[in-house]
A and B are shown apart, each in its own frame.
Chain A
Amino acid sequence: MAKKLTTAEILAQARKQAAGESAGAESPPPATESADAGTQPEAASAAPAAAPKKPAAGGAKPTSTADILAAARAQKAAGAAAPAGDKPAAKATPKSTADILAAARGKAAAAVPAKGEGKGAKPAATGAAVASGEPLPSVEEMMKAVRGGSGGPAAEPAVKPKPTLPPLPKKPVVAAKKAPEAVSRRGVVMSLIGTPFAAAWTFLTATTATATLAMARFMFPNVLVEPPTRFKVGPPGDYPLGTVSNKWKSSRGIWIVHTDQYDGGNLIYALASVCTHLGCTPNWLDGEQKFKCPCHGSGFYITGINFEGPAPRPLERVGLRVAPDGMLEVDKSVKFQEEMGQWADPTSYVEIA
Chain B
Amino acid sequence: MVNPHPDLTTSVIHGLGWAYLALFLMNLVWTIRVYRGHTEFRSPELFGGMMIPSATPWAVYSIILFLLSLVHLITNAAPDTFMLVMPEFAKNFIDGFADPTIFFALSVGLMAAVIYFRETLVKPTVAWTILNMMLLFTTFSLTDYDFRQIVGKPDNVPIVSMLYIVAFFTWLYFSRAVENDKRKAEGRPLFEQEKNEKILVWPDLVYTELICMIALTVILVVWGVVLQAPLEEPASAAKTPNPSKAPWYFLGLQEMLVYYDPWLAGVVFPSVILGGLMAIPYIDFNKLGNGYYTFKDRAFSVSVFMFGFLPLWVAMIILGTFLRGPNWNFFGIYEFWDVHKLEVLNNVNLSEYFWIKFLNRGLPTAADIPNFISANVPALVTPVVILLREWLGILLTLLYLGVAPMVMVYIPKFKEFFFRMGFVRYMVFTNLLLMMLALPLKMVLRWSISLKYIVAIPEWFFNI
Contact = CB atoms under 8 A, between A and B. Distances in A.
B346 A309 contact: no
Interface stretch (A199-207, A281-289, A327-335): A281-289
Contact of A294 (B261, B328, B342, B459): B328
Given A287-B340, A309-B258, A309-B347, A295 B328 contact: yes
Nearest to B342: A288
Nearest to A294: B242
A299 B345 contact: yes
A202 B66 CA distance: 79
Contacts of B258: 296-297, 309-310
A340 interface: yes
Nearest to A314: B458
B328 A281 contact: no
Interface string B388-400: 0000000000000
A296 B257 contact: yes
Q: Which of B236, B452, B461 has the most CB of A within 10 A?
A: B452
A253 B238 contact: yes
A310 B327 contact: no
Nearest to B243: A294
A308 B329 CA distance: 11
Given A288-B342, A294-B243, A312-B458, A281 B237 contact: yes
B259 interface: yes
B287 interface: no
A293 interface: yes
A273 interface: yes
B239 interface: yes
A280 interface: yes
B346 A308 contact: yes
Interface in A294-324: 294-297, 299, 307-310, 312-313
Contacts of B461: 312
A233 to B, nearest CB: 15
Contact of A296 (B237, B328, B452): B328
B397 to A, nearest CB: 16
A34 to B, nearest CB: 68
B175 interface: no
B254 A296 contact: yes
A111 interface: no
B240 A295 contact: yes
B208 interface: no
Contacts of A190: none
Interface residues of A, number: 29
Contacts of A249: 238
B407 to A, nearest CB: 30
A340 B244 CA distance: 30
B459 A340 contact: yes
Contacts of A281: 237-240
B362 to A, nearest CB: 15
A42 interface: no
Interface centre among B262, B326, B327 (most CB of A within 10 A): B327
Interface string A238-280: 0000000000011101000000000000000000010001101
B244 A295 contact: yes
B447 to A, nearest CB: 12
Contact of B328 (A250, A293, A307, A339): A293
Contacts of B262: 277-278, 310
A309 B244 contact: no
A16 interface: no
A98 B260 CA distance: 80
A253 B240 CA distance: 12
A15 interface: no
Given A285-B340, A297-B258, A339 B459 contact: yes
Interface string B222-244: 00000000000000111111111
Nearest to A292: B327
Given A293-B328, A310-B259, A250 B242 contact: no
Contacts of A294: 240-244, 326-328
Contacts of A309: 258, 328, 345, 347
B456 interface: yes
B326 to A, nearest CB: 7
B263 to A, nearest CB: 10
B453 interface: yes
B10 interface: no
Interface in B421-464: 452-453, 456, 458-459, 461, 463
Interface string A200-217: 000000000000000000
Nearest to B347: A308
A254 B238 CA distance: 9
Contacts of B342: 287-288
Interface in B49-80: none
A288 B254 contact: no
A282 B259 CA distance: 18
B369 to A, nearest CB: 16
A312 B238 contact: no
Nearest to A254: B238
A292 B244 CA distance: 12
Contact of B261 (A282, A307, A308, A312): A312
A308 B327 CA distance: 12
Contacts of B243: 294-295
A277 B456 CA distance: 13
Nearest to B266: A278
A308 B241 CA distance: 20
Nearest to B262: A278
B222 to A, nearest CB: 33
Contacts of B261: 310, 312
A312 B345 contact: no
A294 B261 CA distance: 17
Contacts of A285: 327, 340
A-B pairs, 4 with minimum CB distance: A297-B328, A294-B242, A308-B345, A250-B238
15 contacts: A249-B238, A250-B239, A273-B238, A277-B262, A278-B266, A281-B237, A281-B240, A287-B342, A293-B327, A294-B242, A296-B328, A308-B346, A308-B347, A309-B347, A312-B456
Given A281-B239, A282-B240, A310-B262, 15 more contacts: A250-B238, A251-B238, A278-B262, A281-B240, A287-B340, A293-B240, A294-B240, A294-B243, A295-B240, A295-B244, A299-B345, A308-B345, A309-B347, A310-B258, A312-B458
Interface of B: 236-244, 254, 257-262, 266, 326-329, 340, 342, 345-347, 452-453, 456, 458-459, 461, 463
